[in-house]
Amino acid sequence: MKLRVLWVGKTQEEWLKRGIDEYAGRIRRYAPLELAEAREEKGAAELALRSRECERLERLLPKNSRLILLDERGSQLTSPELAAFIGRQRDNAVPELAFAVGGAYGFSDAFRARADKVIALSRLTLTHQMVRVVLLEQLYRAFTILNGEPYHH
């Protein structure tokens, strides 16, 4: 099963880029992973901005992928629960799981309604750039759990 992680806008900080590279490299030991960036919208009203950014995210999504949104209002999972979810998708021969992180103003209602699942990393609001690294670390952690490796304690 392939993984895809989508987000909106460039990663500005070097330390975040290093974190993304580190965990993307680790995940690729277990599964093919693609990272894709949608262009950030600037200067529009919030509603229009969200919907344009989400239309761009939509264009980065292959038809056969199952879409998981990252959102602080989503369901909260433990790391073993996230691992079990990924394992079930893999066992059910889902071809691709796509995780989307919103832009600074989040997702449009239409994009939210189209998602297969909405998950929160916590109830706290994190910056849209930091979420990229935290999500990738959790995906890596999930694979170590699925493989019974001594990383998760």
Ligand X SMILES: C[S@@+](CC[C@H](N)C(=O)[O-])C[C@H]1O[C@@H](n2cnc3c(N)ncnc32)[C@H](O)[C@@H]1O
Q: Which is nearer to ligand X, 26 or 50 (CB)?
A: 50
- Interaction site with ligand X (CB under 6 A): 70-72, 101-102, 104-107, 120-122, 124-128, 131
To the nearest whole angstrom, how small is the minimum distance from the Cβ of residue 107 to ligand X?
6
Q: Which is nearer to ligand X, 13 or 149 (CB)?
A: 13
Please check whether residue 61 is in contact with residue 111, taking contact to mean a CB–CB distance below 8 angstroms.
no
Please report which helix (H) or strand (E) contains residue 5, including its range: strand 2-8
Q: Beginning with the edge strand found earlier in the chain, give each strand of the sheet holding 33-38 in spatial order.
A: 33-38, 2-8, 96-101, 65-76, 117-120
DSSP-assigned letter for residue 150: T
To the nearest whole angstrom, how small is the minimum distance from the Cβ of residue 105 to ligand X?
6
What is the secondary structure of 62-108 as a DSSP string? -TTEEEEEEEEEEEE--HHHHHHHHHHHHHTT-SEEEEEE-BTTB--
Q: Which is nearer to ligand X, 99 or 143 (CB)?
A: 99
| Number of residues in the chain | 153
Q: Is 16 annotated as a binding residue?
A: no
One-letter amino acid for residue 59 of the chain: R
Q: Which is nearer to ligand X, 116 or 149 (CB)?
A: 116
Q: Is 121 annotated as a binding residue?
A: yes
To the nearest whole angstrom, how small is the minimum distance from the Cβ of residue 71 to ligand X?
5
Could you list the residues known to form a binding site for S-adenosyl-L-methionine, using ranges: 70, 102, 121-126
Which residues contribute to the annotated binding site? 70, 102, 121-126
